Every structure is written in structure tokens, then in C-alpha cells.
Amino acid sequence: MSQLLATGIMAPDFRLRVTPDQDLSLSELRGQRVILSFYPADWSPVCGDQITLYNQVRPEFEKYGAEILGISVDGAWCHQAYAKHNHIHFPLLADFHPKGAVAQKYGAYREQDGVCERALFVIDRKGMIFWSYLSPIAVNPGADGILDALESLQNQEK
């Protein structure tokens, strides 16, 4: 298993394709809480459930002022087809070229398989990693850990 970036440090910035003709960088979201959900692949059944679940839970994330971003090594066109098919309403970023470079920065790349780990990060408004979780690759980690982290982040900032 990979060694995820530790909490309490600044989340490395990145700039990735979010649609075939648009980029998104983490620093553009400074001032918001951000959830990064690294996942192995579009279309695979467990991810399907996980991404579908986050799509459904997104209004709850928003109550905590958090934006969720999915990241996999799939290309932007693949993400576009996948998002359309499953009515995904949050950005899916393409860590496609150079492949897995952002996942590697976060310690969330599976070199042996050439895909992202199933890893979660919650980043605070200042861009610091507040919480992270590395799930076994075949297990959908659900949204409870993310919501617990957002709740304690909110309590801490009060």
C-alpha cells in the first residue's frame, strides 16, 4: 500500500484537465474546503458505487462549504462520457499526462497497477491537509469518514 501525504501540511497544488478543453487547479479553490477523491478508474463497479454515492451526498458536502473533486488516470473524454452516463455533478479530473503525476505527489499512486489508489483527502480553506484515508482498493470507503472530518474541521474553526 502507498504512503499517503501526511495531514497538517499544505496540499500540493496541481492543474489538471477537467473537461476536454478546460483545466482546474487546486489553488483556484483556495478559501473553500476541498475533498479529493482519488479512485482507480471510471466505469469499474466499486468506483461506480463510490462516485455515485458522493454524487448523491454532494449537497451535504456543500453544507460544510466543501467542493469534491474526483481524480483518476482516465482521460478527459473518458471522464466526460462517464459523468454524462451517471449524471455526475462534480468535477472529475484527468491525471492523465504525465500519467498519475498528481496522485504520486499525494502518495496515492499504485505503481504496480498504473492507477490511483482509492484515497481520500479533506483540505481546509487555507489549503492544508486536514484528514486523509487510504482505503483497500476493492472497498468503497463510503462518505462517513469525509463527513466526520468536515464536522470536526468546522468545530475546530469555530
Partner 1 sequence: MSLLRAPVNSSDHVQGPDNAPVTLLEYGDYQCPHCGAAHPVVQRVQRYFSSRLRLAYRHFPLTEIHEYAEAAAETAEYAGFYGRFWEAHDMLFENQDRLGLPLFLAIVRYFGLSEQGLRDALAHGTFADKVRRDFLTGVRSGVNGTPTFFINNLRYDGPASYEALVDATAAQLEYVMTPA
Nearer to partner 1, 71 or 143 (CB): 143
Question: From the candidates 18, 26, 34, 47, which is the catalytic residue?
Answer: 47
Output 19 or 55, the one with its CB closest to partner 1: 55
Closer CB to partner 1, residue 24 or residue 53?
53
Which of residues 144, 155, 156, 158 is near partner 1 by CB under 8 A? 144
Under the criterion CB under 8 A, does residue 53 sit at the interface with partner 1? yes
Quote the CA–CA distance of 15 and 128 in Å, as a whole number: 17
Paired with 36 in beta bridges are 69, 121
Distance CA 75, CA 106 (A): 19
Q: Which three cell numbers stand for residue 139?
A: 472497498
DSSP 62-108: HHTTEEEEEEESS-HHHHHHHHHHHT--S-EEE-BTTBTHHHHHTT-
Q: Indicate if 47 belongs to the active site.
A: yes
Give the range of 32-40, 53-61, 93-101, 123-131 binding partner 1 by CB under 8 A: 53-61
Active site residues: 47
Task: Give the binding site for partner 1 (CB under 8 A).
Answer: 49-50, 52-53, 55-57, 60, 86-89, 140-144, 147
